[in-house]
Amino acid sequence: MLTSDSCLSLHKHGSSMASDSNSSESQRIAQQRLRIIAGHLQKHKDDDSGTIATECKAEANKGTVPRKRQEIMKWNGWGYSDSKFLFNKKGQAEFTGKRYRLSGMVLPSLQDWFENTFGASVNHKSPATPALNASAVPPASLNEAFVEDLKATGIPFSHEAEDRVFRAHGHCLHEIFALREGKKFERVPDMVVWPNCHNDVVKIVELACKHNVCLIPYGGGTSVTSALECPPEETRCIVSLDTSQMNRILWIDEKNLVAHVEAGIIGQDLERLLNESGYCTGHEPDSMEFSSLGGWVATRASGMKKNVYGNIEDLVIHIKVVTPRGVIEKSCQGPRMSTGPDIHHFILGSEGTLGVVTEVTMKIRPIPEYQKYGSVVFPNFEAGVACLREVAKQRCAPASIRLMDNEQFQFGHALKPQVSSIFTNFVEGLKKFYITKFKGFDPHQLVVATLLFEGDRERVLQHEKQVYDIAATFGGLAAGEDNGQRGYILTFVIAYLRDLGMDYYVVAESFETSVPWDRVLDLCRNVKERINRECKERGVQFQPLTSCRVTQTYDAGACVYFYFAFNYRGLADPVHTYERVEHAAREEILANGGSLSHHHGVGKLRKEWMKESISSLGVGMLQSVKDYVDPDNIFGNRNLL
Amino acid sequence: MASKTLYSQRDPMLKRDGFEDILEERRNSSDLKYALRCYAPVLYKGVTPCKANMLKNIVLQSDQLHYVINQVSQESGEAPDIIQEEASVILEEMAHRLQISTVRFFAFALSKAFKTLFQHVCVNEEGIQRLQQAIQEHPVVLLPSHRSYMDFLLMSYILYTYDLALPVIAAGMDFMGMKFVGEMLRMSGAFFIRRSFGGDKLYWAVFSEYVKTMLRNGFAPIEFFLEGTRSRTCKSLTPKLGLLNIVIEPFFKGEVFDVNLVPVSISYERILEESLYARELLGVPKPKESTSGLLKARRILSEDYGSIHVYFGQPVSVRSLAQGKVNRSTYNLFPRHIPRKPMEETQSFVNDTAYRIVRLQEDNMVLKPWVLMASLLLQNLEGLELSVLTEQTVWLRGLALSYAAFLDWPDHAPTAKVVSSSLALHRGLACVSGGRVSLVVGEPLGPVTPEEALFNRAVSVLSCASYRNQVLHVFLRPAMLAVAMHTAASSKKSEWPGLYNCFSFLWDMFSNDFILCPGDIVQDFEEACYLLVKTGAVQMPQQDIVMTDIGQPTLSFFNGLLEPFLQGYQVVCRYLCEEASEGLTEKQYIPAVRSFAVKLILAGNLRCYEVLSSDMQKNALAALLRMDAVRKVKVADQVTLIVNKMAVNSIDDILGGKLPTQKALLARL
């Protein structure tokens, strides 16, 4: 697996950005030495030596994401081009493609649910513009000197309209809506560069500083905070720095259970590659199919299994960042340090305003021996929240525990594929009868918690019993593995559903917050009510869908995730209406003791509340870091501050 | 009764609803059937009704109460379960036990009583519809005006009639004295609170948690009287904030999405307690509430008390009121179950809200023609020709209407008839003899002392004043400006900055007697100017406010309207300067002022009877305390009043028009 190459990027302590000719000479020598070491390592691979190293460049790109993302991904919607929901000629919903468990299946109850919930109709279509209209894209304004110097480095770049537009947006509703409508773009990146390794990034940042070019790092493009939008007032040439080709695991250290990984790697590749060696990170944000390691670091991401593995800030051991002032690194991999405020915390959540995360050392774990899904039905949301609170109190949360409200429970049911055997159908029916009739649960009140246990088999079963026992004291009834598993599969396809909605006059979005336990119920109720009110006041003609779920539990609170969708027929500017409602919902969240964001970040969408959230002094502290690290605002995406 | 629509002209947007007479149906169908009919009110978001006992459990198990119990236990050294027991006793004493059977009993009995006592009980049905809507959407707080014991029975009666959720009502503990009736009221939804429990943490915690629990669970609309007690004068009283704070807090803490406050204006054509109040104000203590006393009051059943109008105002959303005024996130950093003094921002919001609600109550008080006549009669204590009274009443009607008064003037009836039927209904207060209308003075039984005669006269003046008082809120602001114009200069011309000073002095001085929202002084001045200009009484060329040729009657009516207050306050000032001894205690103050005033009247030096009212005396003292002209000092168990004679004297001079405002203000400093 190891090949010798000049760009071996084993990491290098104390390396500084200013790589004059001397240092590149010493670099060369160092690399030569490392090659020899690597050779040793390879020889001893079968011994108890715990390090596996990989290197950069010449190796063929094994990542999922090609430079031309549009070759496999939608340019105006979520995910892969081959996977989408549609209503077929019989009016039945189906999910195309072969990639997912749900792929190729028919979902018989989705249409009814869709029409009844939104007052929409499969006969009223609002189709998207089929292809990108190149004339809607402003011409690239290139910094010629920069382009010249860049060419000399051999780093690939492009200024084709398609490439530029693809990197001008994330997945906010207004961004996707504009793409579908074929609206004219105000500002998109003028070019895209694809660095291949850390050193490429160093060169690009140097050149950007030299020629005063604005850089916007781009990882998986899954931002939902307008973080990737180009500031319209930016007059310099904007270069989108796409990290997708920096996607290698550079080494795995089995002794310390850490892996050193290039930050452009996307979640699914990282897991797949680690799995090949028997490991995982356990970091599974809902966007993990497309989002990148660097993006997780830059936004303080959270994965669904954080109860076992931790959130991104718990997972990283070391971060390497290229900034206009040089490279930020620590001198060791000590698992915890008392060396003043942790500089990693300037990087975590910096949202691309300080530099580019190029390499990350992160914790890994052996793949768990046993995994088991589960689900519990509660008579109402209050009981469910009380149960989650108790689970958190006893610190016995499974790898994942999520509580969906009644709206989401019903939605989940609408997504059940056609049942193949009569027997399963019969069992389902019995279960439903038992819960609603025998146990007296109101089908319009009941909620469901989905669970995922991991570990060795015995302990999982023990753990499972403990959680179900707690649930029982809150009136919870075990509702089977299938329901649980389906809940998690849906996580990945739900994003595709928004595109289906938009085909039929329905706009949808999600947003999240974190909130102390005692305020969870009040916050959920008030935010939903606020959304309903605002919709009414703003002339939305149909009852909106507001739904929430508690997706993470902590000692002192929980993360709450909201879905919000409405039928926009009859509205002149649905996106504007949507934005006003979301704005009001966020104000309601803040007034009810919720945070500005649990894991999505601030971007440009929520900047206005930063002062309120962290005080103006706090904003000043962040600003002074920005001013020191990036005085010329090279990383000019204007997020956060 | 034909529904009538009365328009306000002050604000063309302010359209008032028409009324329906709910007694009409009662007169035509069986009361028993009515009392036993199916009663199934809609509830807040369809909650299942919660039993009174369950409610008590929720309160006793709440974190809020536990926190205070532990706190009290630590402070007193008493074991927590003993304190818990105490809390449960308090709750037992306080809690209502709403029972539909009792409600049905009242529905039956009150139907009978109302039909004998009143001609009509009129309700704005649109208001009822709005209320019904509000009850389903948000916790509702009913805030009726308080003029009579009848008020809360009447409220429950109306809500029962319209199949609305019955309210739970905060009532003073004094009702509990009436053994049987107290329990009956409890079973019809009243809960009882002690009149004062200032320092009692536990009591406060039980009480506030009880109210909040009912509010949060949407158990029932909560009803209480912002004025705190029945107004003996028919003027609205300055609002008390305790309960309002309690019902608003769950909104600030995010425990409810919104709270709707519904002002309710209950206007009586004749108040049952009319002469009782006058006596009480004159120092005859009010009879202790007792069942036998209530039975004796049966005598009143034989009289005609005219009509009642109940107006359910537009529900006021606390959420919209607080928008931009209170930042709810300031509650984020403190546990919600720990009691905490409201922040300044919140306090001033609640205070402001309370005043606005009372003003909304005032706005929708229905005024009868007699109210106008009483205002005129009081300015002519020696009597008036009937024809003159009629003519002036018509004039005053026009003025009142153009000031947006909610006047219930019979349609299509000749004025003479309106006047005479008003006189007939109030024959206990005024009589016509030889074409002259004058106040009735209680017939003396045998020989009377001069003091007794004076006392009898004062009773009729104060009774009459309680009608005039009902219209004061309509005229108050322009009237204060009229007084300012009168005081500021004997000339016809005055510059407005000077007038404004004088106006604001009066505004400040009278802010215990009238509902003047804190901070609204400029707005009130502008409103006064606007109204006087609108009716042509003054013109405002640039910096001046000038009386017009036709302005004389209006301005002098206004001066006459406030004259008793100016005089009354002056008498108080004079007493404090001339007569008050060192070490005058607060307790002695009222009787002392009263006997000082009696002396003055008997000597023929004073013709103002209203100063004999303890209400005015208290308000005057409160004003002087507020202006630092008088200070309270606590010596041992006594509260003594220390008078700054110079300051009081100069206030007296300004009120008498002897001293310009500016100078007086300086003197105070």
Distance CA A254, CA A274 (A): 11
Cα of first residue to Cα of last residue in chain B, in angstroms, is 59
Q: Residue A618: CB partners within 8 Å, gap ≥ 6?
A: none
Tens-digit pLDDT profile for residues B537-585: 888 887 788 888 888 899 999 999 999 999 999 999 999 998 888 888 9
At residue B634, the 3 state secondary structure works out as: strand
Cα of first residue to Cα of last residue in chain A, in angstroms, is 44
Q: CA of A591: which chain B residue's CA is closest?
A: B329
B255·A522 Cβ contact <8 A: yes
> Is position A620 annotated in a ligand binding site?
no
- A592 → closest Cβ in B254, B335, B337: B254
Q: Which residue has the tokens 């949360």?
A: A397
- A518 → closest Cβ in B257, B327, B336: B336
B658 shares contact with chain A (CB less than 8 Å): no
Query: Chain-wide mean pLDDT for chain B?
Result: 87
* Cα distances (angstroms) measured from residue B160 to each of B36, B96, B265, B652: 11, 17, 18, 52
Q: CA of B332: which chain A residue's CA is closest?
A: A593
CB contacts, 8 Å: B329 with chain A: 590-591, 593, 612
A591·B255 Cβ contact <8 A: no
State the nearest Cα–Cα gap between B260 and chain A, in angstroms: 15
Task: Give the per-residue pLDDT at A27.
Answer: 58
pLDDT classification of B492: cutoffs 50, 70, 90: very low
Task: Give the per-residue pLDDT at A216.
Answer: 98
Task: Give the per-residue pLDDT at A289.
Answer: 94
Q: What is the CA radius of gyration of chain B?
A: 26
* Mean local confidence (pLDDT), A437-464: 90
Q: What is the CA radius of gyration of chain A?
A: 25
B435 shares contact with chain A (CB less than 8 Å): no
| Mutate which: B64, B329, B333, vs A, most A CBs within 10 A | B329
Tens-digit pLDDT profile for residues A215-231: 999 999 999 999 999 99
Task: Give the per-residue pLDDT at B419.
Answer: 94
Tens-digit pLDDT profile for residues A151-189: 999 999 999 999 999 999 999 999 999 999 998 889 999
- Please tell me the total number of residues recorded for chain A in this structure: 641
Q: What is the DSSP letter of A123?
A: T
* Closest residue by Cα to residue A484 from A549, A401, A405, A415: A401
Q: How far is CA B254 from the centre of its chain?
A: 31
CB contacts, 8 Å: A440 with chain B: none
State which H helix or E strand residue B493 sits in.
Answer: strand B493-495
A591·B328 Cβ contact <8 A: yes
Distance CA B575, CA B645 (A): 10
pLDDT over threshold 80, residue A261? yes
> Is position A353 annotated in a ligand binding site?
yes
CA quadruple B198, B200, B201, B202: dihedral sign: negative
- Please tell me the total number of residues recorded for chain B in this structure: 669
B257·A526 Cβ contact <8 A: yes
pLDDT over threshold 50, residue B668? no
B257·A529 Cβ contact <8 A: yes
Sheet (strand A545-553) strand order? A477-478, A370-378, A447-455, A400-404, A545-553, A557-567, A506-516
> Is position A300 annotated in a ligand binding site?
yes
State the nearest Cα–Cα gap between B94 and chain A, in angstroms: 28
CB contacts, 8 Å: A590 with chain B: 329
Q: Judged by CB atoms within 8 Å, which residues 206-235 of A form the interface with B? A: none
B328 shares contact with chain A (CB less than 8 Å): yes
The first and second tokens of residue A262, run together, are 């290039």
Distance CA A135, CA A590 (A): 42
Task: Give the per-residue pLDDT at A463.
Answer: 95
CB contacts, 8 Å: A592 with chain B: 254, 328
A518·B328 Cβ contact <8 A: no
> Is position A356 annotated in a ligand binding site?
yes
Distance CA B257, CA A459 (A): 44
CB contacts < 8 A, A to B, total 26
Query: Chain-wide mean pLDDT for chain A?
Result: 89
Q: Residue B596: CB partners within 8 Å, gap ≥ 6?
A: B571, B574, B575, B579
Distance CA B271, CA B305 (A): 7
CA angle A391, A280, A364 (to 5 degrees): 85
* Closest residue by Cα to residue B309 from B421, B145, B107: B145
CB contacts, 8 Å: B327 with chain A: 591
State the nearest Cα–Cα gap between B328 and chain A, in angstroms: 5
* Cα distances (angstroms) measured from residue B605 to each of B335, B567, B600: 63, 12, 5
B257 shares contact with chain A (CB less than 8 Å): yes
pLDDT over threshold 60, residue B505? yes
A593 shares contact with chain B (CB less than 8 Å): yes
State the nearest Cα–Cα gap between B252 and chain A, in angstroms: 9
B197 shares contact with chain A (CB less than 8 Å): no
A523 shares contact with chain B (CB less than 8 Å): yes
Distance CA B362, CA B212 (A): 27
Tens-digit pLDDT profile for residues B237-256: 999 999 999 999 999 999 99
CB contacts, 8 Å: B255 with chain A: 522
* Mean local confidence (pLDDT), A369-386: 95
Task: Give the per-residue pLDDT at B152.
Answer: 86
pLDDT over threshold 80, residue B496? no
At residue B585, the 3 state secondary structure works out as: strand
Q: CA of A516: which chain B residue's CA is closest?
A: B332
User: For A12-26, A414-428, B26-40, which range has the lowest pLDDT when averaged over its residues?
Assistant: A12-26
Question: How, if at all, do strands A106-107 and A93-95 pair?
Answer: antiparallel
Residue B373 near residue B393, CB atoms below 8 Å? yes
| Mutate which: B332, B336, B346, vs A, most A CBs within 10 A | B332
Taking CB atoms within 8 Å and a gap of at least 24, the contacts of B5-8 are B6/B406, B6/B407, B6/B408, B8/B363, B8/B404, B8/B406
Task: Give the per-residue pLDDT at A32.
Answer: 58
A591·B329 Cβ contact <8 A: yes
Distance CA A567, CA A574 (A): 9
B335 shares contact with chain A (CB less than 8 Å): yes
Task: Give the per-residue pLDDT at A422.
Answer: 58
Tens-digit pLDDT profile for residues B182-224: 888 888 899 998 877 777 899 999 999 999 999 998 888 999 9
State the nearest Cα–Cα gap between A413 and chain B, in angstroms: 26
* Closest residue by Cα to residue A103 from A587, A487, A492, A577: A492
B330 shares contact with chain A (CB less than 8 Å): no
Tens-digit pLDDT profile for residues B322-374: 999 999 999 999 999 999 888 899 999 999 999 999 999 999 999 999 999 99
pLDDT over threshold 80, residue A207? yes
Task: Give the per-residue pLDDT at A196.
Answer: 96
* Residue A375 identity (one-letter amino acid): S
> Is position A351 annotated in a ligand binding site?
yes
CB contacts, 8 Å: A591 with chain B: 254, 327-329
User: For A184-193, B304-313, B434-443, B586-595, which range has the lowest pLDDT when averaged over its residues?
Assistant: B434-443
**Which range in A129-138, A294-303, B532-541 is most confidently predicted, on average pLDDT?**
A294-303
Distance CA A325, CA A603 (A): 23
- B332 → closest Cβ in A525, A530, A593: A593
The first and second tokens of residue B639, run together, are 């509260």
The interface predicted TM-score (ipTM) is 0.86
- A591 → closest Cβ in B254, B255, B335: B254
Residue B656 near residue B509, CB atoms below 8 Å? no
Q: Where are the beta strands (DSSP E) in B173-291?
A: 190-193, 222-223, 260-268
φ, ψ of residue A451 to 5 degrees: the values are -130, 150
CB contacts, 8 Å: A522 with chain B: 253-255
Task: Give the per-residue pLDDT at A484.
Answer: 87
Sheet (strand B544-547) strand order? B493-495, B544-547, B538-539
Give percent of chain A above pLDDT 90: 77
B329 shares contact with chain A (CB less than 8 Å): yes
* Closest residue by Cα to residue A376 from A386, A368, A384, A365: A384
Q: Residue B58: CB partners within 8 Å, gap ≥ 6?
A: B213, B217
* Mean local confidence (pLDDT), B521-525: 93
Q: CA of A531: which chain B residue's CA is closest?
A: B257
CA quadruple A308, A313, A317, A318: dihedral sign: positive
pLDDT classification of A38: cutoffs 50, 70, 90: low
pLDDT over threshold 50, residue A504? yes
A518 shares contact with chain B (CB less than 8 Å): yes
CA quadruple B359, B360, B362, B363: dihedral sign: positive
The first and second tokens of residue B32, run together, are 């028993």
* Closest residue by Cα to residue B523 from B329, B667, B272, B352: B352
- Residues of A serving a catalytic function are 561
* Cα distances (angstroms) measured from residue B430 to each of A479, B306, B377: 81, 16, 9
pLDDT over threshold 80, residue B662? no
State the nearest Cα–Cα gap between A84 and chain B, in angstroms: 39
Instruction: Name the region of A543 (left: φ>0; alpha: ψ -120 to 50; beta: rest).
Output: beta
Task: Give the per-residue pLDDT at B177.
Answer: 67
Beta-bridge partner residues of B312: B264
Give percent of chain B above pLDDT 70: 90
Quick count: other Cβ atoms within 10 Å of Cβ B380? Answer: 17
> Is position A282 annotated in a ligand binding site?
no
